[in-house]
Amino acid sequence: MKSKWSIFLSILLLILLVACGGNNTETTNAPAENATTAETSDTPAEEPVEEPAAEPVAIEMFYPVAVDAPIAAILQGYVDDFEAANPDVTVELVFSGGYTDVKTAIQTTVEGGGTPPALGVMLATDIYDLANAGIIMPLDDYAANADFMDDFFPAFLANSYFDGQLWSIPFQRSNVLLYYNNDMFAAAGLEAPTSWQELADDAAALTIRDGDTVTQWGMQWSSDWPYWLFQPLAMGMGQNIIGDSDTEVFFDNPAVIEAVQDYIDLSAVYEAMPAGVQASWGSSSADFASGQTAMIMHSSGSLAGILEQANFEVGVMALPGKESGTYATVVGGGNLYIMDGVPQEQKDAAWRFIEFLSNADLAADFSIQTGYIATRESAYETDAMKEYIASVPQAGQAREAMQYAGAEFSIQNLGEVRGIFHDYLQKAFNGEMSAADAMAAAQTESDAALEAFR
């Protein structure tokens, strides 16, 4: 009989354990959910609850870490400052992985009928998916009273509008840069390229071979997730892969086809770059910093890491285009979104935090601490930023590149269309199809995938 009782006891314990586990997870969500139920019952504007305005509004912000910088600590510092100045709001930061993880977490929460965080930092290019799914809300009413909207770099706002409405505010933004090893250029008697032809010739001149082995590449250009680094090249040849319409792509435009061929020719004709698709996002920046590659295409987000390792003079610039003296780059990175599924009070509080983060001094500080490009032009007028650029001129060069910046590839049905584009772009890079055939096929299939959105 004793053993029977012990079995029952252990089952009881187990059930208790399971129950406690459930409770625990609930309590972690409690702040947001309590707030939700409290707010929704408040909305009919009945009699105020016993302690009016005593509870601060609690909001959550989901954010990713996408660069090599202590983002969590930096953001927490901003939250502390914000809460000190705004005692009626508390902000809880929730680290959620990478950009994709943040989007997936918020998406599945909403689909599962849960309450999303009030704020999320997600890719600027996710705007259509998020708006169509009803996850985010337009911010025009808030922005109408804000004094900083005109001060953002126009390219950073290029991925914020849809259907005549504003859906996101630029936050952690980057651009594509051509990094070049100034010491190598100087040693070879070369200057920074001012046209694509010059760049190709320089890359060839700076490629060094020892017999069959390459000891130094003129150029490395990652293409395992190719659209982003490819866009400046297409723009430089005269046509970005997207335009003003959210359902139109320009893959089979002659300028885009020319750009595909230019990429291929860097290895096929100039023998200045490894052939085929290069899965080298991580290794190319390391190779550049250690002096094994004269030039790379990379994110401005890698600048700090490269400068830390490189023992030579690093130059950064927008990619030279076809005509001498033309340049091109595209923007990237994440924006701030407010979720539609949270109570009005949380939305208001979330906007106040956005306003706080959009302050020019803070934008400058965030840029200095992380290596992201400051979102506002006036951030570059602050003393802190001027001082920083005096000591790190490359940060100023990255800002110079902004004048040539275009919109990042963002379109309705982005996941599917981008998949199609990547497939055919890589087929062309790997020599499985000609540039013209690949881009024609990409155009046909993308048009079909966009049909339902027109």
Partner 1 sequence: MSNLYRAVGKRRFDSLPYLLIFPTFLFVAVFTAWPTLLAFYQSFFQQRLNIVRFREPTFIGLENYTKLFADDRFLQVLRNTFYYIVGTVPLSILLAFLFALLVNRKIRGVGWARLGFFYPTILPLVSAATIWMFFFTPDYGLLNTALRAIGYTGADNWLGNPNLALISIMIVNVWKNAGFYMIFYLAGLQSLPTDVFEAAAIDGATGWQMLWRIAFPLLRRTTLFVTTIAFIGAFREVDHIFVLTQGGPSRASTVLLYHLWQVRFENQDVGQASAITMVLIVLLLFFTVTNFLLSERGGEADV
Question: Could you list the residues that contact partner 1 (CB under 8 A)?
Answer: 1, 3-4, 7, 11, 14-15, 18, 100, 103-104, 107, 111, 128-129, 132-134, 213-214, 223-225, 274-280, 282-283, 412-416, 418-419, 422-424, 426-427, 429-430, 432, 452-453
The nearest distance, CB 378 to partner 1, in angstroms, is: 36
Question: Which residue number, 365 or 445, has a Cβ lying nearer to partner 1?
Answer: 445
Question: Which residue number, 35 or 273, has a Cβ lying nearer to partner 1?
Answer: 273
Q: In this structure, what DSSP letter does residue 49 have?
A: P
Question: Which residue number, 133 or 149, has a Cβ lying nearer to partner 1?
Answer: 133
314's tokens: 């690093």
The nearest distance, CB 287 to partner 1, in angstroms, is: 9
At a CB cut-off of 8 Å and minimum separation 6, what does 100 contact?
A: none
The nearest distance, CB 223 to partner 1, in angstroms, is: 7
Question: Which residue number, 43 or 104, has a Cβ lying nearer to partner 1?
Answer: 104
Question: Which residue number, 107 or 444, has a Cβ lying nearer to partner 1?
Answer: 107
Q: Under a CB-based contact definition with an 8 Å cutoff, are residues 344 and 125 in contact?
A: no
Phi-psi region of 113 (alpha: psi -120 to 50; beta: other; left: phi over 0): left
Q: Under a CB-based contact definition with an 8 Å cutoff, are residues 453 and 412 in contact?
A: yes
CB count within 10 Å of CB 183 equals 16
The nearest distance, CB 31 to partner 1, in angstroms, is: 26
The nearest distance, CB 379 to partner 1, in angstroms, is: 33
Of the candidates 84, 111, 92, 162, the one whose C-alpha atom is nearest the C-alpha of residue 335 is 162
Q: Under a CB-based contact definition with an 8 Å cutoff, are residues 320 and 196 in contact?
A: yes
Q: Under a CB-based contact definition with an 8 Å cutoff, are residues 79 and 91 in contact?
A: yes
The nearest distance, CB 101 to partner 1, in angstroms, is: 10
The nearest distance, CB 11 to partner 1, in angstroms, is: 6
In three-state secondary structure terms, 207 is coil
Question: Which residue number, 15 or 188, has a Cβ lying nearer to partner 1?
Answer: 15
- Give burial (CB, 10 Å; 0-12/13-18/19+) of 43: exposed
Question: Which residue number, 41 or 215, has a Cβ lying nearer to partner 1?
Answer: 215
Phi, psi of 368 (to 5 degrees): -65, -40
